[in-house]
Amino acid sequence: MPFLPAIDLLYWRDIKQTGIVFGSFLLLLFSLTQFSVVSVVAYLALAALSATISFRIYKSVLQAVQKTDEGHPFKAYLELEITLSQEQIQKYTDCLQFYVNSTLKELRRLFLVQDLVDSLKFAVLMWLLTYVGALFNGLTLLLMAVVSMFTLPVVYVKHQAQIDQYLGLVRTHINAVVAKIQAKIPGAKRHAE
């Protein structure tokens, strides 16, 4: 069973594989709500070790009973090359460096008020996040994000016309409110262009 690209998982194109991935994410996140990260990692490692050791013993006993010489049951996986090349490491490092630098430049621009309207939008966002943080912890938000990732794309595809209609209405209303606010803030007219 080949691994599906992420977009195929999110659109449930292979229900069995998506269910396994989605269920695994939910199980992991619900486990983290009850236990520490160290405990969850330890239990997952113990479960994996129990499965592989049991399978190895089972195959060894089966080979002894049938008097065959099939070898190690995980030989194909043991021989797989899993190291990252220098080029791959450099590519990922360059990508990470680009995102870190872009984020730092944007935060500098927002915090040092290079553009008043953008800094005010950022301030409103941070103020709203204080309320979100008071209602939910990070793990709950992560759980909601995972559930949303696996449900919202399918809901959108099934009800695209209605959703687009309502989003258009909301966008029109937001643009009207922003235009009124920008009309009251001196120097904000250039942002509307």
pTM above 0.75, yes or no: no
Q: Give the whole-angstrom CA distance, residue 71 versus residue 100.
A: 48
The reply to whether 162 falls in a domain is: no
User: Is 122 a domain residue?
Assistant: no
Torsion of CA 56, 62, 68, 72, to 10 degrees: 0
Residue 8 domain flag: yes
Identify whether 10 is part of a domain: yes
DSSP line for 50-119: HHHHHHHHHHHHHHHHHT-----TTHHHHTS--PPPHHHHHHHHHHHHHHHHHHHHHHHHHHTTSSHHHH
- Report if residue 56 sits inside a domain: yes
Instruction: Return the half-sphere exposure (C-beta side, CA atoms, 13 A cut-off) of residue 183.
Output: 6
Q: How many domains does one find in the chain?
A: 1
In a domain, 144, yes or no: no
- Domain-embedded: residue 41: yes
Task: Tell whether 34 is covered by a domain.
Answer: yes
Q: What is the pLDDT of residue 189?
A: 52
- Torsion-angle region of residue 122: left (phi > 0), alpha (psi -120 to 50) or beta? alpha
Q: What is the pLDDT of residue 149?
A: 92
Nearest-angstrom CA–CA distance, 13 and 118 = 40
| Each residue's pLDDT expressed in tens, for the chain with a length of 193 residues | 455 688 888 888 889 999 999 999 999 898 888 888 899 899 999 999 999 999 999 998 988 888 888 888 888 888 888 888 899 999 999 999 999 999 999 999 999 999 998 999 999 999 998 988 888 888 888 999 999 999 999 999 999 999 999 999 999 999 998 888 888 876 655 544 4
Q: Would you state the pLDDT for residue 192?
A: 45
Domain interval for residue 26: 1-65
